[in-house]
Amino acid sequence: MIELRSHSWHVAHGRSIDVGEQSVIMAIVNVTPDSFSDGGDYEAVDTAVAHALACAKEGAAIIDIGGESTKPDAEAVSATEEQGRVLPVIEALRGKTDALISIDTYRADTARLAISAGAHIVNDVFGLQREPEIAALAAQTGAGLCIMHTGRERPKLPDVIDDQVLFLSRSLDIAAAAGVNRQNIVLDPGFGFAKDTEENLELMARFTALLRFELPLLAGTSRKRFVGAVTGRDAPDRDVGTAASSAILRLQGAAIFRVHNVAINRDALAVADAILRTRAKLGGRTP
């Protein structure tokens, strides 16, 4: 049985957030022209800020701001361009919301500038293994770290969980060597990142195996291609499938959910949370 364990996730600027006993939603705000489902929707600073504030009002505790698309085969942008997109949004949001601000980047320089601008969390899709300097930055600033698994740019082990353990263990070693406190770390298995439909579904089915790390787990299935493969829906119409996957993963032990549509996932996760609380009251008994 999944236990409702509370973790205090420590992040930059003296903030923290309790995760585990209740689902936490991280809203996606892509300040990009080419993201796979909402590219171009929030390129303007005022539009991105308004969307972020609306997500917070709907129940997002974290706003994740990205300036480079990470969809398969997306073209990389320069650090200067990435920073020009995200920093004005972070600066504009600072002081307008109590929601934590996350910067979605694998560049240490962008992360440093984002934290200075007011970001609390660094969400690194290469799990500290592209630019390990992010770990040192987190240790220095107390920033929260989302360490994500990826299968990109490297050979993978044939077993999905073995590969998760190999990659994430390496990332945690990098973090430990830099002096990052484990209370600042969340792990993300990286749904959709160099994983086909069957691998993603197997990762969902075996998700509890990741609880061995004894760290909060983030799930980012929102509108991913494998959700479309299962539902037959195009990216903008995958929110119901996403909400179903969020609820399933919550029951498997995920604590934080990175989503495009806050409201529908909030409701699905409220049901999952209620089931977990009821299980706890019953002491794990089943009929």
Please pick, among 224, 225, 238, 266, the residue that the annotation labels catalytic.
Answer: 224
Which segments of the chain does DSSP mark as H helices, in order?
45-58, 79-93, 108-117, 133-141, 160-178, 197-205, 225-231, 239-251, 262-282
- Assess if residue 1 is contained within a domain: no
Reported pTM: 0.94
- Assess if residue 256 is contained within a domain: yes
Q: What is residue 75's predicted lDDT score, i.e. its pLDDT?
A: 74
pLDDT digits (tens, 9 = 90+) for 213-242: 999 999 999 999 999 999 999 999 999 999
Is residue 71 annotated as part of the catalytic site, yes or no?
Answer: no
Per-residue DSSP letter, 36: T
Q: What is residue 71's predicted lDDT score, i.e. its pLDDT?
A: 66
Is residue 224 annotated as part of the catalytic site, yes or no?
Answer: yes
Tokens matching residue 122? 């660094």
Provide the residue range defining the domain that includes 198. 7-282
- Assess if residue 262 is contained within a domain: yes
> Domain containing 152 — which CATH number?
3.20.20.20
pLDDT digits (tens, 9 = 90+) for 244-254: 999 999 999 99
Q: What is residue 69's predicted lDDT score, i.e. its pLDDT?
A: 81
Please pick, among 195, 225, 238, 258, the residue that the annotation labels catalytic.
Answer: 258
Q: How many domains does the chain have?
A: 1
Q: Is pLDDT at 284 greater than 90 in this prediction?
A: no
Overall average pLDDT of the 21-42 stretch: 78
Mean pLDDT score across all residues of the chain: 93
pLDDT digits (tens, 9 = 90+) for 32-62: 875 555 555 666 899 999 999 999 999 999 9
